[in-house]
Amino acid sequence: MPIARRLLDHAARTPERIAVRCGGSVRSYGELAGDVTDAAAAWRAAGLPVRGRRLTPAGGRAGDVVAIGSADPVEALTAVVAADLVGVVPLVCEPATHEEVVDALAPAARVRGAATSIEPAGEHAWDAHGDAASAEAAWAGFTSGSSGRPRAVVRSAASWVDSYDAVSALTGITPADTVLVPGSPATSLTAFAALHTLAVGATLQLAPDWSDSAVAACLPGVDVAHLVPHALDAVVGRIAAGDQTRLRTAVVGGAALPDGLRERAAAAGVDVLAYYGAAELSFVAVDTDGTGLRPFPGVRIDVRQRSGADGDGTGELWVRSPWLAHGYLAGAPGPLRWDENGWASVGDLADPGPPLRLRGRADGAVLTGAATVVPEDVEAVLSQVPGVRDVVVVGTRHERLGAVVTAVVEHRTRDDGPAAPRAALEAAARRGLAPAQRPRRWVAVGSLPRTPSGKPARTAIGHALAAGTLDVRPWS
């Protein structure tokens, strides 16, 4: 991940240009480069090896893994770039979420606060798929999507950096821009967006989380924003209500765009670039104009019929691409699979297209009676009801049917307008869904539990429902 060299080049040419803002913290490219080189010197003094040390019995070549758990996102990104300069593999983590997994991984060192404060520990061997074990590892980051135990994905430098030019061309980001990136750099979505911004030489505007208030506070000074759909919905609402911004482009991932959101964004003066990807697959497909998802540059897509499928055309999505990750640290189990010809899949379902239409992940389907319900199909209908901010569909236990389709609805805030009446949701379900797809249980919440990348935490929501610990609110 040779981001360090690019950052140092920007610092040499334009040292006064602002590199990153986060709250009251501001670093120019010259200052950030100084912070990075100071951290790298401290790490070398602590005895960290350079890249190329053999760590695995299989002979894979990688730098030692350094777990970066700084609560300050600027310090975390400084440490990531320092890792690149030293030649070790950064693993950015959320202390509260990933501590147990990091302990099990036993990284070579940890950074818990300032980037210069490194704590040497032990050695860690990473495991990867097949021939990928001979490639250089350059970055590792956690993923669990919206479900499951966090896993650390490891990838080469080329699998990220070589896609930067294509991302710049699609998004139009230049050094003159300020780019908003909310959330924690522990997620691949945030980490990629932040590092791409610095590689371009633009100004990175960090927001500490995905809350409406955190994103809104940054809006007046940004040209491009990386968002998830619910955050774009809130941004569009604020612009329509009169908030000032120079935002021209929203880069949206993490979930499908609800119908009508692109058009509302356009009416607010914001172009939308929507994409589909996964931490293990990187970018897979993009939609630049609302005509649907088509392969990202360099990517080939194959939708394969599943054994035992009912012949409706929906299949499992497989990808062949230069942007694929190697695998998971420490050989952790996960959804990433490979075939003998180098194609990879994480189990997402799709209609073949073109354009590509995502149908959710096979292991997230709700089995109710004799029917298999894809949650995203139900969510796409319910999310269009006025007053719905976001909605997650899960299965909840039922003695006779095994599970029933359950809709957990996040209402809009008072500033956005009235909440959706349950009767309106039920009417939409009757109009737009087959009988087996229609929710039998409805739950209203003020705020959905979310992952660090801003996506609804589907498994956490299901567990909270089952345990009776979800903070529900009465229907209007």
Query: What tens digit of pLDDT does each residue of 421-449 get?
Result: 889 999 999 998 878 888 999 999 988 88
Residues 6+ apart with CB under 8 A from 320: 299, 300, 302, 341, 342, 343, 344
**pTM confidence score:** 0.79
Among residues 201, 217, 132, which one has the least CA distance to residue 168?
Answer: 201
In this predicted structure, the answer to whether residue 111 has a pLDDT above a threshold of 50 is yes
In this predicted structure, the answer to whether residue 135 has a pLDDT above a threshold of 50 is no
pLDDT, tens only, 112-125: 999 999 988 755 44
pLDDT, tens only, 329-385: 877 777 889 999 999 998 888 887 789 988 776 667 776 755 667 788 888 889 889
Surface-to-core class of residue 327, CB atoms within 10 Å of its CB (0-12 exposed, 13-18 middle, 19+ buried): buried
pLDDT score of 369: 58
Query: 50-59, 276-285, 462-471 — which is least confidently predicted?
Result: 50-59
Query: Which fold, 164-308+335-355?
Result: Rossmann fold (3.40.50)
pLDDT, tens only, 198-240: 999 999 999 988 788 889 999 999 999 999 888 898 899 999 9
In this predicted structure, the answer to whether residue 61 has a pLDDT above a threshold of 70 is no
**Amino acid at site 132:** A
Distance of CA 373 to the CA centre of its chain: 24
pLDDT score of 124: 47
- Quick check: do 3-10+23-157 and 164-308+335-355 share a fold? yes
Span 248-266, average pLDDT: 90
pLDDT score of 332: 76
| CATH class of the domain whose range is 365-467 | alpha beta
Long-range contacts of 433-438 (CB under 8 A, 24+ apart): 433/377, 433/378, 433/381, 436/368, 436/369, 436/371, 436/373, 436/405, 437/371, 437/373, 437/377, 437/378, 437/405, 438/378, 438/405
Query: Which fold, 3-10+23-157?
Result: Rossmann fold (3.40.50)
Give residue limits of the domains in the chain. 3-10+23-157, 164-308+335-355, 365-467
pLDDT score of 134: 35
